[in-house]
Structure 1
């Protein structure tokens, strides 16, 4: 969700204020989403997001910060032990209140997901073309098996694979090819929103670059919304328009992707950014810095700001006072008591 920008004169702001609905509702709006496992373990805590058609939103954070739980919650793909509260408005319709038949119709056709780990997501005993054709047949009553197979071949070509690869089994494809199959499957029913959960996991850097450029091109060509989830801030800054940084189930910083990556206002965002080398930047000749410790156990969250046990600039009050997102300049917001204090080089290096 984008922060509201206030102007004092008649001149419009440099970029649109996406926090205020104008005309049609946004493609996706998440309001105060909470996901609790087993009734007591909060995996996602009060998350707000907003995605317009054609917009690319990145979600970053370490493993265990709630990114994948959030992705699965958007289409209600979580196990029955998970309790969801809040609102997930897809084209203005709340996913959380949909009956099963409506929800089944929305999956694949309204929004689709590219899961991390294509080898585990594809069925090992079915040809990939049949797996791409399956959602087409399920969501289009007029489609024939022959037409669905033709469409599967077209989709494979669209993602850079020969149509003949539709006859292959998943184990006959490379990791990058399997990931392309997953993207083709996500596009099969022309969804308006694609959720990509770490789509380049376990791929080498050359294949990663190809997959990322492919996703960017498909989003631009088809004017769909994209939510890209990754632990890699550099990838998200290069791929996405906006970026939300999650920690312990909450969004702790959000704003234009390149600004958050280059000059994060939350200590956790700065730590994630400092963990990646800036190749070709003569001002950055130091080795990437790690962040000591691990994200907290959701079942035993620390009091106050959940980041304070790892924070290099924490104040005494951080151990007792939680922080909500607040204005951090321009279109950025951060959940830090020091957000009004400009970040110095020393504070960025310490993080």
Structure 2
């Protein structure tokens, strides 16, 4: 039986999209997750993910591919119009079957999220220190307000800001400082999993590099799991251990991050990689190449492989036959009929 947000919970079942676990269960395991809006619009379609403690998983794709919906679904932060099915196992406990009280206890303490757009996520009329202290007070009723404020100052120093900035309002901080505040807030209750949704959006490259190094250090020092979501494969390849590429609500490629970035097996993964310059690579002196077309409307997905209308190497069968993830050598998988064929030179079709 399939789990939903309104049922009492299914019997655990193995996911066909992930290998059977060996040893201790992973920190997070997502099995066949589907998110549908309004009963008819599929935003996430059968996604399987696994994150171990201390592991960094990147999720890449264009706007509209389902990345942020997936991130919000992991903690059931989506609107009531969204229907979720499948399993989201956090430390072996299914988030989709949690009662409200248990779910409230898990948010921020078991898993936290750095939302996209810090200025829109922070309350403009409250000091940032009070906003960091709020989840501490909610999750630890024995903590006094004074102790929570002190902890907020320590967290700000941990992310590279003076403790005195706790007295500032969001509009008094730069974009990079606000992003650091969001990271401090995500760490407030010592979660085991952090979900970072586009944590470097709208930041200049210098501040972006600082934020990325900060996140890496925090994950390494505290042995937490990280899911980082971005459209930028280069950033994810440099930061994460593994990488999942999403298109039209599905994972179409996954594997070690640097391998997926350097030699993607799926045409969409290759297109994303080709869209970014590679500094210092003599073979990449030409301008980055774009991919013609747009992601499909989730309410009107094309038949067969959903990428085939934009794919430069599509076969006739791709218009009628859907493709599931299949082995692509090593620890890699890709949802393409040509996954085991020699890499095609599709660069001319992506210009």
> How high is the TM-score relative to the length of structure 2?
0.94
1:66 — aligned with what?
66
- Distance change (3 Å), C-alpha of 1:12 and 1:173: closer
Contact 1:3 1:17 in 2 (8 A): no
Q: Deviations over 1:236-289 (max 9, x none)?
A: 000000000000000000000000000000000000000001111012121100
1:313 — aligned with what?
313
Three-state SS of the structure 2 residue aligned to 1:273 is helix
- Distance change (3 Å), C-alpha of 1:14 and 1:88: closer
Cα distance in 1 for partners of 2:294, 2:262 equals 23
Contact 2:17 2:325 in 1 (8 A): no
Three-state SS of the structure 1 residue aligned to 2:254 is strand
- Distance change (3 Å), C-alpha of 1:308 and 1:6: farther
Q: Which range moved further: 253-262 or 283-292?
A: 283-292
Cα distance in 1 for partners of 2:192, 2:296 equals 35
Q: CA deviation at 1:25?
A: 1.1
1:222 — aligned with what?
222
Contact 1:4 1:19 in 2 (8 A): no
> How high is the TM-score relative to the length of structure 1?
0.94
Contact 2:313 2:346 in 1 (8 A): no
- Distance change (3 Å), C-alpha of 1:7 and 1:317: farther
Cα distance in 1 for partners of 2:103, 2:53 equals 20
Q: Deviations over 1:284-314 (max 9, x none)?
A: 1211000000000000000000000000000
Contact 2:194 2:225 in 1 (8 A): yes
Contact 1:3 1:332 in 2 (8 A): no
Q: CA deviation at 1:10?
A: 38
Contact 1:2 1:50 in 2 (8 A): no
Three-state SS of the structure 2 residue aligned to 1:345 is coil
Three-state SS of the structure 2 residue aligned to 1:150 is helix
Q: Deviations over 1:83-105 (max 9, x none)?
A: 00000000000000000000000
Cα distance in 2 for partners of 1:348, 1:276 equals 16
Q: CA deviation at 1:9?
A: 41
2:245 — aligned with what?
245
Q: Which range moved further: 274-283 or 181-190?
A: 274-283
